[in-house]
Amino acid sequence: QQQVKQSPQSLIVQKGGIPIINCAYENTAFDYFPWYQQFPGKGPALLIAIRPDVSEKKEGRFTISFNKSAKQFSLHIMDSQPGDSATYFCAASSWEYGNKLVFGAGTILRVKS
């Protein structure tokens, strides 16, 4: 119930493509869904986050789509660039569990130039 399942494990796209990373959860109490970007040797950086009262949120080239009924959310990266090559983690939290973040397994994205 506390798990967040992330897919795919790795992804290769051409520059300008739109990689899509998906996450699914079971716990309907989750009420906060952030995405993090991590470069090698660095800590994860908060990219964008969404709450279940909206179905989509955009920040620059990054978009979260949220499907409450399906208990799924996804990250889309528009016009992807080689500099977007990194590991991406989805996460979820619930006030029921002290708002502790539960992380997905991560997706290694490579954008080819």
Query: Whose Cβ is closer to another protein: residue 3's or residue 17's?
Result: 3
Q: Which of 5, 96, 99, 112 binds another protein (CB under 8 A)?
A: 99
Q: Burial-class residue 77 by CB neighbours within 10 Å (0-12, 13-18, 19+).
A: buried
46 lies in the binding site for another protein (CB under 8 A): yes
Among 53-61, 64-72, 78-86, 98-106, the segment contacting another protein (CB under 8 A): 98-106
Tell me how far apart the alpha carbons of residues 53 and 42 are, in angstroms, rounded to a whole number.
32
Indicate the SS3 state at residue 88: strand
Q: Which of 12, 45, 54, 78 binds another protein (CB under 8 A)?
A: 45
Tell me how far apart the alpha carbons of residues 73 and 56 are, in angstroms, rounded to a whole number.
9
89 lies in the binding site for another protein (CB under 8 A): yes
54 lies in the binding site for another protein (CB under 8 A): no
Residue 95 phi/psi, 5-degree rounding, is -65, -25
Under the rule (CB under 8 A), what is the footprint of another protein?
32, 34, 36, 41-46, 49, 89, 93, 98-101, 103-106
